[in-house]
Amino acid sequence: MKKIEVSPSILSADFSALCKELRLCELGGADYIHLDVMDGHFVPNITFGPVVIKSIRKCTKTPFDAHLMIERPDKYVKDFISAGADIITVHREIKVDIKSVLRKAKNYGAEVGLALNPDTPFEKAKEHMDSLDYLLIMSVYPGFAGQSFIPDVLKKIREAREYIDKEALSVKIAVDGGVKHNNAKDIVDAGADILVAASAIFSGDVVKNIKDFKNGKI
Ligand code: DX5
Ligand code: ZN
């Protein structure tokens, strides 16, 4: 069976007990922690920034992926990395120069990801694929946890998988939004390496929910 990596998004965690939640993620074998940073401009919601990331960095050694749903990541890349983000993921739809943001994040020692909204074609990622560690394919419109998976996105996952294999790139495909135990198999079969999930993990037994994803009980 293909190895499935899991990245719990703390957006649905208990924010009054984040350290405890992160330790449960470790116990479940989470490969990353997904941090949904929202600025109220790029998306309609506001979440948290480097101050919170810095304070939860001491709770776990699991790599942090900062999914920056913000208009100006170029201004804050250094702050997020200093706070403890290991991976900086920016959106293809922002209006700043993507290449220079990615370069900046790499220069500060982070890995980099590029996120695609559901209506952004894979084609738009191609010119950046060489410099990426991760491609984050959004399967909901970003802004909120608990939305339903958009099945049309499976085609884009397949297209990205074919391209990565054909070009022999080492980019991992992560899928984010509406990922549940009952659709994870389709997502993995389409070519995803990493499942990002908030509500499917933080409702109920966190350890079991992560293990079930990882063990293919999907
Ligand atoms: C959406 C975020 C997602 C979200 C996923 O804007 O980027 O990471 O937390 O939540 P679920 O898994 O509940 O759809
Ligand atoms: Zn996310």
For residue range 149-180, what is the model confidence (pLDDT) as tens digits?
A: 999 999 999 999 999 999 999 999 999 999 99
Residue 1 confidence (pLDDT) above 80 = no
Which pLDDT value is given to residue 2? 82
Position 198 confidence tier, pLDDT thresholds 50, 70, 90 = very high
Task: Report the C-alpha gap between 209 and 203 in whole angstroms.
Answer: 9
Long-range contacts for 214-218 (Cβ within 8 Å, ≥24 apart)? Answer: 214/4, 214/5, 214/6, 214/28, 214/29, 216/1, 216/4, 216/185, 216/188, 217/181, 218/181, 218/182, 218/184, 218/185, 218/188
Of all atoms in ligand 1, which is nearest to the CA of residue 178? 14
Task: Indicate if ligand 1 lies below 6 Å from the C-beta of 98.
Answer: no
| Beta-strand pair 172-176/5-8 | unpaired
Position 65 confidence tier, pLDDT thresholds 50, 70, 90 = very high
Residue 217 confidence (pLDDT) above 90 = no
Contact 172, 98 (CB under 8 A): no
Active site residues: 36, 176
Provide mean pLDDT across the span 75-96.
Answer: 98
Provide mean pLDDT across the span 115-133.
Answer: 98
For residue 14, give the nearest of 25, 26, 29 by alpha carbon: 25
Tell me the backbone φ, ψ of residue 173, rounded to 5 degrees. -95, 120
Of all atoms in ligand 1, which is nearest to the CA of residue 38? 6
- Choose one of 67, 70, 176 to mutate for the ligand 1 pocket test, by most ligand atoms within 8 angstroms of C-beta: 176
Which pLDDT value is given to residue 216? 87
Task: Report the C-alpha gap between 147 and 141 in whole angstroms.
Answer: 8
Task: Report the C-alpha gap between 34 and 131 in whole angstroms.
Answer: 21
Which pLDDT value is given to residue 125? 98
Provide mean pLDDT across the span 202-211.
Answer: 97
